[in-house]
Structure 1
Amino acid sequence: MSTDAGEFRVRFYRLGKELTFLAESGPYPGVLADPPPHPDGVPEHASPAVDWNWPAYHHDLPDDWPSGLYLAHFIEGPEAEARRVPLLDDSGIEGFEREFFVVRPARPAATGARILYKKSTYTRHAYNRGDRADAQRAGSLYDNPVHQQAGPDGPRGHRLSLHRPGGVIDLAYWDAPFVAWLERSGYRVDYCTDLDLHEDPGLLAPYRLLLSVGHDEYWSAAMRGHVAEFVRGGGNVAFLSANTCWWRVHPVDGNTAFVSDTDHHVGTEYPHLPATDQWWPAPPDGVGAPENALTGVSFRNGGMWPGDWPGDRPRAGYTVQHADHWVYEGTGLRDGSDGGPADALGAGTPLIGYECDGAAFARDADGVAHATGVDGTPESFLILGIYLLDPVHDDFHHLKWGHWNCPAREPAITSPRAATMGLYTAGGTVFTAGTTDWPVVCGRELDAGVVRVTRNVLDRLAAPAPAPVTPGS
């Protein structure tokens, strides 16, 4: 914490059906500290690559605080001044002078939770610019990044410290509405971070279903390995997210920073192309482990909205396929097999995007899309919903193909691109929504079909594991 105030306090809230105030701590003495200068001498900007080493303050959390996503709100000034600052409500989650944290359960699944919600913290850090309300420090993997060569500080790539301030944005947009919906709907859920999944090989064992929510772009090899092993052993995953597992990260400095060799500019130059920490390309130009082998889909075959974030995007929704599948149970949606037009899931809402993932596909004689598997998607992947992306790159009124992000690798488009919803089973079942804003549409209950599909996925994939069959039974 850095402040020029003589003292400050911290108010703690938990995200649930609503933002709930829990406690206020302090006062703590204020100490002013400067952000570290950018190593490239970028004026007025701060380095995203090093620990800012600001004064630390310790606070013990009560033992009875349940697992969840929590918000800390920092209040400057003496007590009389602090008393004039009103408590936050749901509209005050986003902003500066705020930080979020995750409380893990003292005993996993002790409350009966069979669902583990993973907050995508590596992605949050990648986009965190280290700004404050009155100062744009503009240091991230995207703004004035710092690139290092391989050496004692880690492998070659862009370096990013997790010990930097920056305020709250993504939590308010994706997580808050969906967490509120989960609790309103009666689901028992435990929570973790990317770092928890990276460090703990046994983290997933007590649960039936892992949730990836919103924007989940940056994954370590250990994270991916632990999830893949979970699925092989019969565990289930719901990727209510997109741009998922696009870049590999290498945690360093006792896991307080990471390095990732990406295709982000440093100044006006690419420090290294092709960027070797992209999951899908073959070595030596990439990791050689297509993300869709796990998720079923990839940003490579999807796209993004090229305008302002999150933008007022196309509202056509997913064209329904296989309406008799259990995922669609109770929605009343049709797929056109009755001779009428196929319905669209989420029509009228900005369901598709802000970013979306897809699978390489081809259509049969009846026009039904099937995954080809040429991109690494499992053979059993069933496309349940599809939205064809318009091939116009620069028109503000269209989504932009994911191909734009890797022109050095694919100079030409080789197959149609489409946002893709579907699932496959290989030990456990993996469902993918194929879009970042699924939790927003569901959480805000903007479309009854999306809500019902989400319930169907959670109810089925979080159900208790079937009892083993004994010989002779």
Structure 2
Amino acid sequence: MKQDQPGPATTPRTRAKARHILDNYFIGPARDDEVLEIWGNTPEMSYAPGDRVALHVSTTADEWEFEIGRDGLEYVPLLTKSGLPGEHHPTPLDCSVKGCGWPEAYALTIPDDWAPGGYLVTFRARKGDDRIEEHHVILIRTAPDAARPPYVLVCATGTWLAYNCWGGSNHYEGITGPDGNAFSPVVSTQRPWTRGFCKLPEGAPRALRQQPTRPGEMVRYPYMEWAYAYGYSKKYASAGWASYERHFARWAEGEGYDFDVIALHDLHHDPDLLKRYACAVFVGHDEYWSAQMRDAVDAYVEGGGNVARFAGNFLWQTRVEDEGHTQVCYKYVADRDPLMGTEQEHLVSGAFEVAPVNRPGALTFGVNALRGVYAGLGNCVGGGAGGYTIYRSDHWAFDGAGLGYGDVLGARSRIFGYEVDGLDYRFEDGLPFPTCSDEAVPEIEILAMGLATNIEADHGIWGETLYIGSADARFKAQVLFGEVTPETLDACKRGNGMIISWPRGKGEIFTAATCEWVAGLIRQDVQVEQITRNVLNRFAKSKGRSR
């Protein structure tokens, strides 16, 4: 994992003083004037040249400084300010749900010559010999009146929010939420990103181990062990600019592709935004979408737009509320969603395939998460190949990649996992076809496949604790079959991940349904790189739209 600058600049003494901020999971404010800290955020996730950006900062230092730089193929610092007066502001206990409420500390206007991309905002502070820095990221797109590049990278900000544990809660675990919930169905955008989402030091492990677990060896999760040791969120490997979109952006820039960068939330507020581009690209872990976001993509493809989706785990419908400051997802307890039983219950925040949402993921990207999910994580296909088995090697996407029927793509670079999407399928004469029982359409071509599971294998090793277990399979069994029995659990145990190609409407979709496709770009897997080029080159021109 390439990183141009070092990680958080802290002394051992500062780290020791700040350990109580990290309670085995959550990172957030110390709420203690004696602890050196600095945190900051911006009201929006993305901006364009000419937009005003407000920095909301809280620090226990008397003075602070910041640096903003474009985090592209090379990190380029563009703006620095120092000697800014520091203020330590109260942070509500429920800041992860309702926001921090800090006042504006500094504001700037995005210059006209700042190129599209991800921009790191580095906040720095010191007390005596101690110093610390934390990071934020903003996305900058092309100015509205400027010529548009052919590609747009849509960052998975819905998933970033779902995994952001800064301040106490996210859509997985937390200190707030309804009675009995271990997660909050409501999270705020008005808080910092947790440590590791914006910037990572070189060598930070990815979610998948680079080598499968050996027989008899206790299962390990190196990325979580690393996170605990160095004071990062254990969710850094699951979401965020630093683990996913950054690597695609750097690779694409190095290959000479001209692209814009936006937030997924931009599609919620501006559904016509995609129509300005020939190809929309999605990468990494892209799990949480509002209905409006899906509507925007569906209309875009039907009208002639192309989608290159190198991403996995398309699962949950969300709602964006409070003028974009709040994301709602009740997930496993969707029956508690206030919209249940109303005229708007199709907007209930639950799984796409489940009533009352009833909008299978295959209708948008050709695959769905409930036919996935886990591969290469812990004992979930822990000894698997780590790549896709090729079935339709003569497809245009594989041109020049040196692949034949039965070959495995991406095993050395470990691209298959940690969550994948698939379909119900059947085999005929050695080739897979969609059964269409999950509302996939016959026009979808299954190009490659790998195996996944919803139940983590228990090998009976003494002292071993399973991370995934069977909770996801139990949820799937309940919602698909109405009950959890040995038979329904068995039916929900097996999953798959797929590469599919789908001419849809006037547009076209290519989906490599895995979170870890970018690992092939990071590790310079020549076959993964060639396929990525083939897709981008084909999709550079729109088919049925006027630009």
Scaled by the length of structure 2, the TM-score of the pair is 0.70
What whole-Å deviation, never above 9, does each CA across 1:205-241 have from its counterpart, x for those lacking one? 1101111111111111111101100010010111111
Q: Distance in 2 between matches of 1:225 and 1:391?
A: 29
Decide whether aligned partners of structure 1 residues 121 and 81 sit closer, same or farther in structure 2, where only a CA change above 3 A counts: farther
Q: Could you say which residue in structure 2 is the equivalent of 1:67?
A: 116
Question: Cα distance, 1:138 vs. partner?
Answer: 3.1
State how 1:442-457 maps to structure 2 within 5 Å. Answer: 442-445=521-524, 447-457=525-535
The root-mean-square deviation of aligned C-alpha atoms, in Å, is 3.2
Question: Cα distance, 1:389 vs. partner?
Answer: 2.7
Higher mean C-alpha displacement, 375-384 vs 388-397 = 388-397
State how 1:8-157 maps to structure 2 within 5 Å. Answer: 8-38=64-94, 47-56=95-104, 57-77=106-126, 97-107=134-144, 110=147, 113-130=149-166, 137-144=167-174, 146-147=176-177
Q: Distance in 2 between matches of 1:252 and 1:223?
A: 13
Decide whether aligned partners of structure 1 residues 21 and 405 sit closer, same or farther in structure 2, where only a CA change above 3 A counts: farther
Query: Does 1:4 pair with 2:60?
Result: yes
State how 1:182-193 maps to structure 2 within 5 Å. Answer: 182-193=252-263
Q: Distance in 2 between matches of 1:444 and 1:264?
A: 39
What whole-Å deviation, never above 9, does each CA across 1:156-188 have from its counterpart, x for those lacking one? x81111111223422111122211110010000
What is the SS of the residue equivalent to 2:186?
A: strand
Q: Distance in 1 between matches of 2:410 and 2:275?
A: 34
Query: Does 1:347 pair with 2:411?
Result: yes
Q: Could you say which residue in structure 1 is the equivalent of 2:327?
A: 258
Decide whether aligned partners of structure 1 residues 232 and 371 sit closer, same or farther in structure 2, where only a CA change above 3 A counts: same
What is the SS of the residue equivalent to 1:333?
A: coil
What is the SS of the residue equivalent to 1:300?
A: strand
What is the SS of the residue equivalent to 2:59?
A: coil
Q: Distance in 1 between matches of 2:90 and 2:333?
A: 26
Decide whether aligned partners of structure 1 residues 127 and 348 sit closer, same or farther in structure 2, where only a CA change above 3 A counts: same
What amino acid is aligned across from residue 430 of structure 1 in structure 2?
Answer: I
What is the SS of the residue equivalent to 1:407?
A: helix
Question: Cα distance, 1:33 vs. partner?
Answer: 1.8
Contact 1:389 1:419 in 2 (8 A): yes
Query: Does 1:249 pair with 2:318?
Result: yes
Contact 1:127 1:142 in 2 (8 A): yes
What amino acid is aligned across from residue 186 of structure 2 in structure 1?
Answer: R
Contact 2:290 2:320 in 1 (8 A): yes
Q: Could you say which residue in structure 1 is the equivalent of 2:301?
A: 231
Q: Distance in 2 between matches of 1:98 and 1:253?
A: 25
What amino acid is aligned across from residue 50 of structure 1 in structure 2?
Answer: K
Q: Distance in 2 between matches of 1:309 and 1:48?
A: 32
Contact 2:151 2:258 in 1 (8 A): yes
What is the SS of the residue equivalent to 2:121?
A: strand
Decide whether aligned partners of structure 1 residues 37 and 381 sit closer, same or farther in structure 2, where only a CA change above 3 A counts: same
Question: Cα distance, 1:313 vs. partner?
Answer: 7.0
Question: Cα distance, 1:310 vs. partner?
Answer: 12
Q: Distance in 1 between matches of 2:123 and 2:383?
A: 35
Q: Could you say which residue in structure 2 is the equivalent of 1:434?
A: 513
Query: Does 1:381 pair with 2:435?
Result: no
Contact 1:389 1:400 in 2 (8 A): no
What is the SS of the residue equivalent to 1:406?
A: helix
Question: Cα distance, 1:392 vs. partner?
Answer: 5.6
Contact 1:392 1:398 in 2 (8 A): no
Q: Distance in 1 between matches of 2:351 and 2:293?
A: 13
What is the SS of the residue equivalent to 1:228?
A: helix
What is the SS of the residue equivalent to 1:2?
A: strand
What whole-Å deviation, never above 9, does each CA across 1:265-323 have from its counterpart, x for those lacking one? 9xxxx96799952343353xx30101111011111011125856999874341111111
Q: Could you say which residue in structure 1 is the equivalent of 2:266?
A: 196
Q: Could you say which residue in structure 2 is the equivalent of 1:174?
A: 244
What whole-Å deviation, never above 9, does each CA across 1:411-440 have from its counterpart, x for those lacking one? 425485211111111121111111001022
Q: Distance in 1 between matches of 2:303 and 2:91?
A: 46
Decide whether aligned partners of structure 1 residues 175 and 444 sit closer, same or farther in structure 2, where only a CA change above 3 A counts: farther
Q: Distance in 2 between matches of 1:34 and 1:308?
A: 40
Contact 2:389 2:450 in 1 (8 A): yes
State how 1:395-406 maps to structure 2 within 5 Å. Answer: 395=458, 403=473, 405-406=475-476
Q: Percent identity?
A: 29
Decide whether aligned partners of structure 1 residues 139 and 399 sit closer, same or farther in structure 2, where only a CA change above 3 A counts: closer
Decide whether aligned partners of structure 1 residues 118 and 145 sit closer, same or farther in structure 2, where only a CA change above 3 A counts: farther
Q: Could you say which residue in structure 2 is the equivalent of 1:90?
A: none
Scaled by the length of structure 1, the TM-score of the pair is 0.80
Question: Cα distance, 1:405 vs. partner?
Answer: 4.8
What amino acid is aligned across from residue 118 of structure 2 in structure 1?
Answer: L
1:361 to 419, 422, 425: 425
Decide whether aligned partners of structure 1 residues 398 and 26 sit closer, same or farther in structure 2, where only a CA change above 3 A counts: closer
What whole-Å deviation, never above 9, does each CA across 1:41-72 have from its counterpart, x for those lacking one? xxxxxx42102101323122222101111111
Decide whether aligned partners of structure 1 residues 310 and 51 sit closer, same or farther in structure 2, where only a CA change above 3 A counts: farther
What is the SS of the residue equivalent to 1:241?
A: strand
Decide whether aligned partners of structure 1 residues 382 and 314 sit closer, same or farther in structure 2, where only a CA change above 3 A counts: same
Q: Distance in 1 between matches of 2:379 and 2:161?
A: 17
Contact 2:171 2:329 in 1 (8 A): no
Q: Distance in 2 between matches of 1:164 and 1:230?
A: 32
What is the SS of the residue equivalent to 1:183?
A: helix
Contact 1:315 1:349 in 2 (8 A): no
Decide whether aligned partners of structure 1 residues 195 and 389 sit closer, same or farther in structure 2, where only a CA change above 3 A counts: closer
Query: Does 1:393 pair with 2:449?
Result: no
Question: Cα distance, 1:377 vs. partner?
Answer: 1.6
Q: Distance in 2 between matches of 1:363 and 1:205?
A: 37
Aligned residues: 419
Q: Distance in 1 between matches of 2:172 and 2:300?
A: 32
